[in-house]
Amino acid sequence: MKIEIVLHLSSRVGRACLITTALLVAGNQASTAQLPDEFTNLKVLPEDIDQRTLINYMRTFSIGLGVRCSTCHVGEEGQDLSEYDFASDDKEMKETTRVMMRMVQAINGDHLTEVENRDESNEVTCATCHRGVSTPRMLPDVLAQVYTEEGIDATVSQYREMRDRYYGSYSYDFGEGNLNELANTVSNSSLDDAMAILQLNDEFFPNSAGIHYLMGEVLLAKDDRDGALAKFRRAVEIWPQHRNAQRRIQELEG
């Protein structure tokens, strides 16, 4: 059973081996000399695993979740790794990680193996779901939760903060679709809040026909026909084939 995990978690690890071992201790300034080479508390990985392979796993965990060794292990940032108590199970994240390791094993070993014409090089890893963050969630879900709990101002700030921090990484999708989607959902409870979200989106995508069209719909729902017409016209100016905006213009002019 334990050997199987090595097989099913291993394809990424194999590729990571090209990188020198010193670098493998992700982010933590350390060489493997500082690390134990005998392990006393392995419950998922095989007990006789060699140091290099174990550290490769630890590196895929750290990078996959965007965290440091100290997130899961007892030790302080800046402290020498030789002073860490890696065998301790005191940190909850370490126990959760064991659950995740077994889950990944089940996905790759029990379920994906049932896929016909399976591409065996394509396996689920921590990063498949986590994409560099410890709590894997899609951007609209994060924002919708902030909106429900804290309102529109907090939602707008949250988006700005996340964009500053994660834009260009693979953690969240900052394409225009997500905020349009959110504005759509929010419009059920508040047209003003939906407009605030579209204005935020417009800041980053000023030449989007879709955003102008949606702004037009919000203004129309608020009975601001002139304002709506201006937005629909702008949408068509940007993208002449925008059918829905064209139809709205005809309705409003006719």
d(CA 226, CA 183): 21
Q: Please report whether residue 129 would count as binding ligand HEC according to CB under 6 A.
A: yes
Interaction residues for ligand HEC, span 73-112 (CB under 6 A)? 73, 81, 86-87, 93-94, 96-98, 100-101, 104
Closest by CA position to 16, among listed 127, 171, 130 = 127
> Do residues 238 and 208 make contact, with C-beta atoms less than 8 angstroms apart?
yes
Q: Within 13 Å, how many C-alpha atoms sit on residue 64's CB side?
A: 20
Angle, alpha carbons 37-38-42 (nearest 5°): 120
Structure tokens that stand for 208 in this block:
């989007």
Build a one-symbol-per-residue string for 57-76: x at contacts with ligand HEC by CB under 6 A, - elsewhere. -xx-xx-xx-x-x-xxx---
**Toward ligand HEC, which CB reaches closer, 124 or 252?**
124
The correct pick among 16, 42, 74, 230 for binding ligand HEC (CB under 6 A) is 42
Q: Measured from the CB of residue 162, what is the shortest distance to ligand HEC in angstroms?
A: 16
CA distances from 76 to 41, 66, 83, 102, 193 (A): 20, 17, 9, 27, 43
**Toward ligand HEC, which CB reaches closer, 44 or 238?**
44
Q: Please report whether residue 134 would count as binding ligand HEC according to CB under 6 A.
A: yes
**Toward ligand HEC, which CB reaches closer, 45 or 179?**
45
Per CB under 6 A, the segment of 131-139, 147-155, 220-228, 243-251 that binds ligand HEC is 131-139
Interaction residues for ligand HEC, span 1-30 (CB under 6 A)? 25-26, 28
> Do residues 216 and 245 make contact, with C-beta atoms less than 8 angstroms apart?
yes
Closest by CA position to 123, among listed 35, 2, 31, 6 = 6
Angle, alpha carbons 171-173-178 (nearest 5°): 140
Structure tokens that stand for 136 in this block:
């894997």
d(CA 131, CA 110): 23
Q: CB atoms < 10 A from the CB of 59, how many?
A: 22
Q: Please report whether residue 126 would count as binding ligand HEC according to CB under 6 A.
A: yes
Per CB under 6 A, the segment of 15-23, 55-63, 189-197, 246-254 that binds ligand HEC is 55-63
**Toward ligand HEC, which CB reaches closer, 8 or 234?**
8
Interaction residues for ligand HEC, span 158-217 (CB under 6 A)? none
* Contact positions vs ligand HEC (CB under 6 A): 25-26, 28, 35-36, 39-45, 58-59, 61-62, 64-65, 67, 69, 71-73, 81, 86-87, 93-94, 96-98, 100-101, 104, 124, 126, 128-130, 134-136
